[in-house]
Structures are given as C-alpha cells and as structure tokens.
Amino acid sequence: MKVLVTVMPKAGVLDPQGKAIGHALAGLGFAGVGEVRAGKVIELEVAETDAAAAKQAAEAMARKLLANTVIESFRVEIA
C-alpha cells in the first residue's frame, strides 16, 4: 500500500528555502505570489493491507524519523 507523508515547517518557523523560492519567482516576473513555504513529500510503500494500520505505521515513522516535530508538522495520506 502506498502512503504519502507531507512534512512542512510549522507556522512561525523561519523558512529560508521558501523565502528564496519566493524571491526567485518575483525575479522571474511572477507577480502576486504571497508567502512561500517549502516542505517535502515522502512516498512510502508499506506491506500493510489495512489502510488504518498503514496510516498508523506511517504516523509513527513520521514522529520518530521523517519530521522534526519541534519545528515541522506532518500529514499522512493513503495514496
């Protein structure tokens, strides 16, 4: 089963990569772009056949390794 874990900086946490992307977009002439936040998407193929168990396992992986929960939040989706 495929699971997607989306990790993003929490609100209020500085995001230099997002700032750099926003600045570059403005420099390329893309007007009207507001705040840019950059994160990551991690695609996992898990052996679970039960969606609830797969989501629970992915959430545990995110808490222990994939996200720094002090400064990042995460969302888990079954794909």
- Distance CA(37)–CA(2), nearest Å, equals 25
CATH number at residue 18: 3.30.1280.10
Residue holding tokens 């991690």? 42
- What is the value of pTM for the model shown? 0.90
Q: What is the pLDDT of residues 13-63, one digit of tens each?
A: 999 999 999 999 999 999 999 999 999 999 999 999 999 999 999 999 999
**What's the domain count of the chain?**
1
The domain in which residue 9 lies consists of 2-78
Give the chain's end-to-end CA distance (angstroms, integer): 8
